[in-house]
Amino acid sequence: MKNRQMTQDNYPQTASHQAMLKLLDQAPVVPASPSLRDDIISLALLDLSPAAPASPALKNKILSAAKENPTQPASAEIINFSPKPQHRPDRRWLTGNAFAAGLMAASLVLGFWTGTSNFADTLIAAPLELAGLQLPETDDSMNYYNIIDGLGPSESAL
């Protein structure tokens, strides 16, 4: 109560405040729903409809009928519908291995084609050679660093 009084003191009932309260009062109220009561009562009436009476003998009848009807057990294949945790292979592992294998295969093919054996050299040199770029020749074999150096402007051009 004390707090409310303090609030009122802090926020005096100005004309604008009164106008705002009037506006709030004009906000639409919950519309009447005369049919809702009917809906609720009609649904409640449904429960007057009698439920199925108990039939304890039936359960025993079904069980004895099942005993009298011993069909062959289903084969293991059919029984195998039981939910089991599905084996989900690690996709990252597969992707990584597939990528590495692909890289090795590409390296071998390109190595045979270009006549080089170095893995890194092959990967870099082969596409460039295929693209028709001139690569610097080295004494023994193409070397990764030589190739990178060779891609820059030549000394004579400078």
Partner 1 sequence: MDITASIQDDENLLVQIASRDEAAFALLLDRHFENVRALAWRVLANHAEVDDIAQDVFLKLWKNPQSFTPGKAKFSTWLYRVTLNACIDRQRKNNKSPLTLTDTTIEETTPDSAPTPEQQAINTNRAQRVSKAIAGLPDRQRHAIALTHFQELSNIEAAQIMDTSVEAVESLLGRARRALKASLRSDINELLNKTT
Interface ranges with partner 1 (CB under 8 A):
37-39, 41-43, 45-46, 48-53, 55, 58-59, 61-63, 65-67, 69-71, 73-74, 78-79, 81-83
Contacts of 77 (CB under 8 A, 6+ apart): none
At closest approach, how far in Å is the CB of 77 from partner 1? 9
When the beta carbons of 17 and 59 are compared against partner 1, the nearer one is 59
Tokens 């294998």 -> residue: 101
The nearer residue to partner 1, 70 or 152, going by C-beta atoms, is 70
In the complex, the smallest distance separating the C-beta of residue 46 from partner 1, rounded to whole angstroms, is 6
Nearer to partner 1, 36 or 158 (CB): 36
Amino acid identity for residue 155 in this structure: E
Q: What are the b/e assignments for 51-82, b being 16+ CB within 10 Å?
A: eeeeeeeeeeeeeeeeeeeeeeeeeeeeeeee
CB 80 to partner 1: min, Å: 9
- Give 28 or 50: the residue with its C-beta nearer to partner 1: 50
**Smallest separation (angstroms) from partner 1 to the CB of 76:** 9
Structure-token pair, residue 28: 């639409």
Nearest to 138 by CA among 127, 130, 149, 124: 149
Mapped onto helix, strand or coil, the DSSP state of residue 121 is helix
